[in-house]
Structure 1
Amino acid sequence: MLPATFKLCAGISYRHLRNMTGLRRQAAVAITQELNKLAFTGPGPSKWINQVRRRSSLLSSRLEDKPFSEVELSYIKQGEEALQKSLCILGKQDGWKMETVVDNGDKVLSKVLPDVGKVFRLEVVVDQPFDCVYDELVERMEQMGNWNPSIKEIKILQKIGKDTVITHETAAATPGNIVGPRDFVSVRCSKRRGSTCVLAGMATNYGAMPQQKGFIRAENGPKCMVLRPLAGNPSKTKLTWLLSIDLKGWLPKSIINQVLSQTQVDFANHLRQHLAATAPSTTSVNC
């Protein structure tokens, strides 16, 4: 199939054929289909990471029936960059230091990057199938404040195409008001390829959501969550959460590090409790 695809691409390299929108669209679709096939022929996650970092998704989005404005395209590009940068960080295994290890196997690691600062990586296994976890974290993103006490509200401000959203998130103050209320405006990009999902994001500017009274506007990103069925046990889900946040304000680094690593551990516990409470009524319909 690949030789035929390359012939199609070669055809549109001639000027008189480049003007044929249908042919150009057909070529883009063919390329995307072939890349998707290649992305899932290997068993390991690294092959998928290498493939998802390609720009084929951005090319396809530009060829949708509804054209995007320059501003919308800039948000799509930001989301793609957040996804690729996050996966690049996760793909480099050296330099990570253990921050926290919990008795149930949950662990938080960290490393310091020159152009980002300190990043944290949570690795957990959730005793629920991939679809249940995916639906809760992606499809029902705006309901996260109902079960995660560290979040007051997540609101989707704008959807752009099928992969990109602009969100406003308000975070509650930490116990003892060590860290006061923060809010975040982010562009998020979600990619699902078969039984693997990456939800990435980073801070962005959005004119319709100025700084809110009573909150310090913090910035996050690059950050991402990677969801995959646990190898050898598809009834469980491996969740990796890369977290990078600039909380702003005058806070000692020691406090920031402690708060962020504990936030990740608490998130895993709240997610498990919520899924366990809702699983009996939803398991029969794949959540």
Structure 2
Amino acid sequence: MLPATFKLCAGISYRHARNMTGLRKTAMVAINHELSRLSGPGPSGWISQVRRRSSLLSSRIEEKAFSETDMSYIKQGEEALQKSISILSDQDGWQTEIVAANGDKVLSKVLPDLGKVFKLEVLLDQRPDNLYGELVDNMEQMGEWNPNVKQIKILQRIGQDTMVTHEMAAETPGNVVGPRDFVSVRCAKRRGSTCFLAGMSTHYAGMPEQKGFVRAENGPTCIVMRPSAEDPDKTKFTWLLSIDLKGWIPKTIINRVLSQTQVDFAQHLRQRMAAGYSMEAAQAC
């Protein structure tokens, strides 16, 4: 169920743009503005890199001939990032859902257009690049270590930053929530020492609704990984989650399961990273 959720990205809209060039420029300006807000007061090295790299990204998009459909996916990915950062930048109105013994925290707030969204905040004993490699480069392996995910498949890669994926949720005990799947567009970016993985649900002609599954929707979602100010070898990990499971499920059940699954995801990720580096150390001996 909620697995694909904890896959990392998603949303709901799919719109072809009439004037892609103008929309891309507008989106990049908005993203840069929101990234500046998210970084907080004072100078930030990675923000300046965002501005430089964003200009380069726009140039690359202009140079390569993408189809109208491909461009719509690129725009959706940028939109998911922009919306997510805007939500995360607003510190007001968040209510505590869970505080684990190790300090992991899940907060929530209700937004007019999205309903209830959740935010996971944890500190991980890994560098952002290592986590980015696991969650982005090894995305299709997530089903091996996250019991909430049955399968993730990359359907199409578009340029360096955008991909379309299909996620199947693992079955839940007692079948409290029936089988769900998601089709998502994802936008993965590195800006200096900060890594982003944003997404939203989309339509993909090559992946129609599957028999036996309810096509759920999620997004905007976004994972932000930044080095800890106290220890650059640790990561401040933030995960914004917005999801619509479709069907009739009491909101109290959905809210409880979603917040707990975010906490569980953090623990599964810790175990995955610890096991990976233990294996590397053993092979090096």
Match of 2:91 in 1: 93
| 1:174 CA displacement | 2.1
Residue matched to 1:62: 61
Q: Is the 8 A contact 1:127 1:237 kept in 2?
A: yes
User: Paired residue for 1:77?
Assistant: 75
Trace 1:90-239 onto structure 2 (pairs within 5 A).
90-239=88-237
CA distance in 2, matches of 1:156, 1:283: 30
Q: Which has the larger radius of gyration?
A: 1
Query: Residues 102 and 183 of structure 1: is their aligned pair in 2 closer, same or farther, counting only changes over 3 Å?
Result: same
Aligned-pair distance for 1:51?
Answer: 5.5
Give the alignment's TM-score, normalised by structure 1. Answer: 0.80
User: Quick one: distance in 1 between partners of 2:165 and 2:93?
Assistant: 32
**Aligned counterparts of 2:276 and 2:183: Cα–Cα separation in 1:** 29
Decide whether aligned partners of structure 1 residues 113 and 50 sit closer, same or farther in structure 2, where only a CA change above 3 A counts.
farther
Alignment partner of 2:234: what SS? strand
Contact 1:96 1:111 in 2 (8 A): yes
Distance 1:127 1:284, change over 3 A: farther
Identify if the C-alpha distance between structure 1 residues 51 and 117 changes in structure 2 by more than 3 Å, giving closer, same or farther.
Answer: farther
| Paired amino acid for 1:76 | I
Aligned residues, how many? 249
Q: Distance in 2 between matches of 1:60 and 1:191?
A: 16
| Alpha-carbon distance between aligned partners in 1 of 2:48 and 2:129, rounded to the nearest angstrom | 20
Contact 1:49 1:87 in 2 (8 A): no
Between 1 and 2, higher relative CO (CA 8 Å, sep ≥ 6) is seen in 2
Where does structure 1 differ by over 3 angstroms across 4 or more consecutive aligned residues? 38-45, 47-52, 54-58, 281-285
2:175 alignment partner AA = N
Does the 8 Å CA contact 1:124/1:268 hold for their aligned counterparts?
yes
- Helix, strand or coil at the partner of 1:86: helix
Runs of 5+ consecutive residues of structure 1 not aligned to the other structure: 1-27
Structure 2 unaligned regions, length at least 5: 1-24
What RMSD over aligned residues (CA atoms) do the two structures have, in Å? 2.9
The CA deviation at 1:128 is 1.6
SS in 1 for 2:233: strand
Matching residue within 257, 262, 267 for 1:259:
257
Do the aligned partners of 1:145 and 1:153 also contact (CA within 8 Å) in 2?
yes
